[in-house]
Structure 1
Amino acid sequence: MTDTLDSDIFNLAPIAMWIEDFSGVQELFHHWRAEGVTDIRSFLKHDRDRVIACSSRIRVLSVNAKTLQLFEAKSLEHLTANIAAIFRDDMLDTHINELAALFDGETTFSSTTVNYTVSGRRLDIQLRGTVLPGHEKTLSRLLLTTEDITDREDARRAEALQRRQAEGVFEHSPVSLWIEDFSRIRTLIEDIRDRGISDFRTFMDVHPEFVRQCMSEIRVIDVNQATLDLFCAKDRSDLLQRIGDIFRDDMEKPFREQLMELWNGRLFHHREVVNYALDGSVRHILLHFSVFPGYESDWSRVQVALADITARKKAEAYLEYLGKHDVLSKLYNRAFYADEMNRLERKSLRPVSAIIIDLNGLKEANDQLGHDAGDGLLRRFGEILNGAVATPNHACRIGGDEFAILMPGADAKAAGTMMETITELLRINNQFYSTLPLSMSYGVATSEADESMESVVKRADALMYENKKAHYVAIELGGEMPLAKTRTL
């Protein structure tokens, strides 16, 4: 009755079960021990044929129905006839662990291995073995179970693949990526909220130390290679030890806005910031902040992506420069001059002085020496005006050889001093270019009560033309060409 019950349990078990005879393997063990083998693992790894020799001595005595089903065998005979196709490849490597356990006198063993069905389908197997009581010396009866864990292992391999892919995307992304822990910042913000404070912006205005404390509580978990390249860091340690050199100066202001976003529950946001590389060079950055899904409650995992927009900002600055400046002279252009005239017209600040200057002989220089020579004169005069004129005053090239200087808040005395400076710089410049000296005619006007800017400039322009006529009259009379001709009102 008991034998029948045991047989029924064996055959109806929901897991594949094998009864096997390892006595032939035990005989090999005795032989190897007699030869002095003690480290069976090294012994078997040294020669794989020894593992095959052990496997060939194992006799399958019985299997249950689940075994035949799992390995797609029609019968025990069909199974054993294909045993070499079932136990192969990686199975031999894991088989060493089982043989070593038995060699060392253990009566149980387990391992994860690979088997194959009769049709060749790969199976991931959880193998467990037990020496049946009374057979410990001969190993003539072992019960083995082979549990199919293919689905579980497929899921594990898929997860490992996804993890490697994610790590690869992170590490090799062309964009600087930071994984950070903002959990302490969340705690600080929630503490403020729990204190009944609702106007967070005003709170930060009154307590700037809170912003600095939050900045100090950011914990950097990892950065990728693009981050090291962007900030000229030798390695992660170099970057993290010098983090204060990267986030400095005006960084506190955009961080305040980032805290406002978090206060308002916006866990995904972006803004432009300025950072610094470890060599001191400026980095204009487009910062993208996002809390990882699943971490919304504590912010312990956030990603910060930094796109380097330095080149774009330089291009924008240059385009803005071109929109306001004359490329040849490096002075402000006529468009800027028109805007400044309108601005000064709207402002109540008075007096305002205007200086209109015209280069003498530019057309002759172009006609006789070529436009390169004329351009050289314009560049030289641009250097003179840039050296003499500083904010809030502005020097502009408003025509081919015509220039204007607008001086808000300057009276006639200040305008006269400006012209003395320009005249002196022009004289010094001509000492280095004696073969092609600069000459100018100019007029100066200072605003009167309730006078429009247009009227002021017209008066200065009229004076400049009078002086220019006098310049050319002097040339026609054969007199010495003056350095500058001027009248001032």
Structure 2
Amino acid sequence: MNIATRIFFVFLVILGLLGAIVISMTLLADSRKKTAEAKLHLLTSYKLVNQLRQTSDDLTRMARSYVATGDAIHEQGYSEILAAQNEDITPSNLQAGTTQLSDLIKQSGLTDQELFLLEQSRKNSVLLNKIEDQAFGAMKGLFPEIPALHKNPDPEYARSLLYGKQYYQIKAELMQAVQRLNTLINDRVYREIDDNKATEDLYWKITALLIIVTILFSVLAFLFFRTRIIRPIVSLSKIARKIQSGKVDERATVNSQDEIGILNDAFNNMIEARLQCEQELENNEKSLRTTLDSMGDAMIATDISGHITRMNPIAEKLCGWKIEDAINRPLPEVFHIINTRTGKMADNPVNRVMSNGEICDLPEDTTLIAKDGTEYQIADSAAPIWDETSNITGVVLVFHDITDEYACRKALHESEERYRKLFENTEVPMCNEDLSEIYEALNKLRNEGVKDLRQFLKDNRDTAWNMAGMIKILQANNATLRLFETEDHAKLISKIDTTFGLNAIDVFIDELCAIWDRKDIFRSEAKFRTFGGKDIDVIISFQIPRTEEGFKNISFSIIDITDQKKSEAELRESEERFKRLFENSEVSICNEDLSEVKAELEKIRQSGVLDFRQYLKDNQLILWQLVNMVKVIQVNDATLKLFGATSDKNFIRQFDKTFGPNAIEIFTDGLCAIWDGKKVYRAVSDFRTLSGKLLKAIISYPIPETVDGFKSIPVSIIDITELKKAESAQKESEASFRRLFENAGVSIWNEDMSKVCQTLEGLRRDGVSDLRKYLEENPQAARDMANSVRIIQVNDATLKLFGGETSEKFIPLIDNIF
């Protein structure tokens, strides 16, 4: 074996060993790369899952802040966070790419179970968003279940949604799913890392063994390789020193196909990678600077001595300083803030942060004075900047202009004052009551097993009265004082129980049952008595709170309907009189439906007919069709008696038999009266009884002005002979009665004692058993009842007895005769 062959053999062996080393190191590097990728996936998953958790927490915090304060800035913050949740994720947030959050998590290599948990958490997040949307709607009086309906804003209902059991449960399920997802990802990735480390150890051992063998062969082949290896390495070393000195354009130029050549290429690639990293670092710095400059809020950063190191354009605008002029200046010189109320210099936020190492906020009343003297109302927070060794290296201030918002808050305060005055001066009686003790008492009864509250209170009347004593009047407006005829606010609050009417306890029980059944609104009629002794009818109403806190201050409205109730009573009395008149009237009355007739007349009018009477004369068939459209709805007894019918059905079925000789002419006149828009139709017409007897009667009916009025028209049919007899008899009866009343030798008067009866019934319900004894002990009650008696009419004997001139003059002075 000649030397060339030996050299070649050694070269092949060493080359093989080096190749094996390269392969082993490549596999080792691949294993490390997998470990690094697994760690990167773990870090990415941590960030993404934490972002999902943080976004949910931020949405909850903003939503609750909004319903707690009603401040629109929180609603805006909520919308921005929700929008950001659905926007693309930029390289500065996570990694390069424009994929959605869910896609990034899926690209992290999640398993089916982890994806299931992710989907579960997102569904829960959607449910939370729906509840938050409902709460936002309640704050504005908009309710999704009835989209077209607007109600009054309901902050209490909004807060009950965001602090309710359902919200907490969904929130807990979301956090549990996120935590479980985080745990599964952590366990899976660490298993991958452990497997990769085991592979790394194996490759390390193989590589070490190959290196040892290579060294042995290298020592033997040193002289041979000195020229082929050492010199190229020295050349690479020189190039490296040049690059280290700053000559980054230098490159290694060893031309070889062996490992030295590979090393040469790797060295050149390393230089290229370094330059690329420096370029990326520079780009990241530019990106950070762009991000800070693009912030919507102003930002100032200082070092630990309080000198400015960075400002964004918003801060430059508000402070009135250019960045180049502000750099290295003390913060108070550029960031000049004072207390809005006192005008004194505000504390330096940097000193506060440096002293306690915590985030701090400026007071609400803080004014920033710009370099040119312009004043801005600002909201500010300052936070420490920490390095990797947990040392504070500076302070960052983030603030924004809230001048308009501050003005809005001031306007809101003024608005609240106006609404307070509105409460005091409104003509609607209103009062605020504390029913918290009643709420607690009802909960106690519920816990004790009471199911039917109304029956329980019916069986335990004292319990209802005890609860009535728990009512606390907090405030009443002037209209309430006027309603109860008092000017003393304290008197109304302390003696409200003396104003309760006869049905007060029943109304109070209805109120308790409405609270018990968790209804939304309670509204009921009730009777009260003013401090002046006047009985009044009112409608009380209030919105039933959803939380225990809400029962501490409930607004009641009290609407006086006394006049309305009197009108209703008069209307009922009038209706009853009309009913009795209809049923008992000696005059024949029929209710007829002429709505089809009216509709047909309108069609004829629209067809262009002008002379309706001539039209009917020329179209007798249409006239009879109109006759058949008349429907008799109801008749009274006088009608049955007049026409000899046994019942309503008997008369209505044979109605056409009652037409007399001139019936069609009378019907034609009636149609023309309707056509001409007259108000009443009256005529003398011939009729026949069902037995065929001819009658002469006056028929009359009002002509309605509306279409609906034609559905029920009262038609009176008066038998002229019987009517005259009835009128004569009635006049004679009335004259006889009046002569008997007026000429009686005994003093007679008519009295109205209805209020006395009401008072006696009230005393009976209050438990008074011996009325005489009660009146002896309470003479004022007897006088009150005497004063409630109303004299209606007196006769001549009474006037003569007491020396009165006329009834009109005597009745107002009748108290003087006692």
1:93 partner amino acid: D
Whole-angstrom distance in 1 between the partners of 2:560 and 2:435 = 23
2:334 is matched with none
**CA RMSD of superposed structures (Å):** 3.6
Whole-angstrom distance in 1 between the partners of 2:544 and 2:666 = 70
Secondary structure of residue in 2 paired with 1:110: strand
Secondary structure of residue in 2 paired with 1:256: helix
User: What is the deviation of 1:227?
Assistant: 1.9
The correspondence of residues 435-474 of structure 1 with structure 2, limited to 5 A, is none
Match of 1:164 among 562, 576, 593: 576
Q: What does the per-residue CA deviation read over 1:366-411, in whole Å, with 9 as the maximum and x for residues that have no partner?
A: xxxxxxxxxxxxxxxxxxxxxxxxxxxxxxxxxxxxxxxxxxxxxx
1:406 is matched with none
Match of 1:247 among 641, 644, 658: 658
2:510 is matched with 97
1:177 partnered with 2:586: no
Q: What does the per-residue CA deviation read over 1:183-226, in whole Å, with 9 as the maximum and x for residues that have no partner?
A: 4334545666656574846953x644333212211122332232
Change over 3 Å in CA distance of 1:106–1:254 after alignment to 2: closer
Secondary structure of residue in 2 paired with 1:109: strand
Higher relative contact order (CA 8 A, sep 6+): 1
Change over 3 Å in CA distance of 1:297–1:53 after alignment to 2: closer
Count how many residue pairs are aligned between Structure 1 and Structure 2: 306
Contact 2:598/2:707, CA 8 A, preserved across alignment: no
1:121 partner amino acid: K
2:489 partner amino acid: L
Whole-angstrom distance in 1 between the partners of 2:491 and 2:471 = 17
Change over 3 Å in CA distance of 1:262–1:28 after alignment to 2: same
Change over 3 Å in CA distance of 1:55–1:173 after alignment to 2: same
Contact 1:179/1:304, CA 8 A, preserved across alignment: yes
2:467 is matched with 54
Whole-angstrom distance in 2 between the partners of 1:241 and 1:76 = 69
Contact 2:437/2:470, CA 8 A, preserved across alignment: yes
User: What is the deviation of 1:78?
Assistant: 1.3
2:555 is matched with 143
User: What is the deviation of 1:72?
Assistant: 1.5
Match of 2:701 among 283, 287, 290: 290
**TM-score of the superposed pair, with normalisation by structure 2:** 0.33
Q: Answer 1 or 2: which has greater helix percent.
A: 2
Contact 1:131/1:143, CA 8 A, preserved across alignment: no
User: What is the deviation of 1:133?
Assistant: 7.5
User: What is the deviation of 1:89?
Assistant: 0.8
1:284 partner amino acid: L
1:33 is matched with 446
Contact 1:17/1:66, CA 8 A, preserved across alignment: yes
Gaps of 5+ in 1: 314-489
Whole-angstrom distance in 1 between the partners of 2:603 and 2:450 = 68
1:80 is matched with 493
Contact 1:180/1:302, CA 8 A, preserved across alignment: yes
Contact 1:180/1:304, CA 8 A, preserved across alignment: yes
Whole-angstrom distance in 2 between the partners of 1:74 and 1:311 = 63
Match of 1:276 among 680, 689, 695: 689
1:70 partnered with 2:483: yes
1:263 partner amino acid: C
Structure 1 window deviating more from structure 2 (46-55 vs 14-23): it is 46-55
Secondary structure of residue in 2 paired with 1:97: helix
Contact 1:12/1:65, CA 8 A, preserved across alignment: yes
- Identity, in percent, stands at 24
Change over 3 Å in CA distance of 1:41–1:180 after alignment to 2: same
Whole-angstrom distance in 1 between the partners of 2:427 and 2:613 = 63
Contact 1:177/1:303, CA 8 A, preserved across alignment: yes
Change over 3 Å in CA distance of 1:215–1:102 after alignment to 2: same
Secondary structure of residue in 2 paired with 1:74: coil
1:112 is matched with 525
Secondary structure of residue in 2 paired with 1:226: helix
Whole-angstrom distance in 1 between the partners of 2:471 and 2:701 = 59
Contact 1:107/1:136, CA 8 A, preserved across alignment: no
Whole-angstrom distance in 2 between the partners of 1:32 and 1:16 = 32
Secondary structure of residue in 2 paired with 1:43: helix
1:302 partnered with 2:694: no
Contact 2:518/2:544, CA 8 A, preserved across alignment: no
Change over 3 Å in CA distance of 1:114–1:88 after alignment to 2: closer
1:359 is matched with none
1:210 partnered with 2:622: yes
Structure 1 window deviating more from structure 2 (161-170 vs 51-60): it is 161-170
Gaps of 5+ in 2: 1-409, 725-818
Secondary structure of residue in 2 paired with 1:51: helix
Whole-angstrom distance in 2 between the partners of 1:57 and 1:19 = 14
User: What is the deviation of 1:240?
Assistant: 2.4
Match of 2:642 among 203, 227, 230: 230
1:17 is matched with 430
Give runs of ≥4 in structure 1 deviating > 6 Å.
Answer: 310-313
1:484 is matched with none
Match of 2:665 among 238, 252, 256: 256
Secondary structure of residue in 1 paired with 2:509: helix
Whole-angstrom distance in 1 between the partners of 2:452 and 2:689 = 59
User: What is the deviation of 1:301?
Assistant: 4.7
Change over 3 Å in CA distance of 1:135–1:199 after alignment to 2: closer
Change over 3 Å in CA distance of 1:91–1:311 after alignment to 2: closer
User: What is the deviation of 1:68?
Assistant: 1.6
1:144 partner amino acid: F
Whole-angstrom distance in 2 between the partners of 1:169 and 1:157 = 18
Match of 2:541 among 124, 128, 137: 128
2:669 partner amino acid: M
Change over 3 Å in CA distance of 1:232–1:85 after alignment to 2: farther
Secondary structure of residue in 1 paired with 2:586: coil
1:11 partner amino acid: E
Contact 1:82/1:118, CA 8 A, preserved across alignment: no
Whole-angstrom distance in 2 between the partners of 1:129 and 1:103 = 15
Change over 3 Å in CA distance of 1:275–1:39 after alignment to 2: farther
Change over 3 Å in CA distance of 1:256–1:129 after alignment to 2: same
Secondary structure of residue in 2 paired with 1:294: coil
**TM-score of the superposed pair, with normalisation by structure 1:** 0.53
Contact 2:612/2:672, CA 8 A, preserved across alignment: no
Contact 1:131/1:141, CA 8 A, preserved across alignment: no
User: What is the deviation of 1:259?
Assistant: 0.6
Change over 3 Å in CA distance of 1:201–1:150 after alignment to 2: same
Contact 2:431/2:474, CA 8 A, preserved across alignment: yes
Contact 2:616/2:623, CA 8 A, preserved across alignment: no
Q: Answer 1 or 2: which has greater strand percent.
A: 1
Whole-angstrom distance in 1 between the partners of 2:518 and 2:615 = 76
Whole-angstrom distance in 1 between the partners of 2:506 and 2:716 = 45
Change over 3 Å in CA distance of 1:18–1:199 after alignment to 2: closer
1:96 partner amino acid: I
Whole-angstrom distance in 1 between the partners of 2:615 and 2:492 = 80
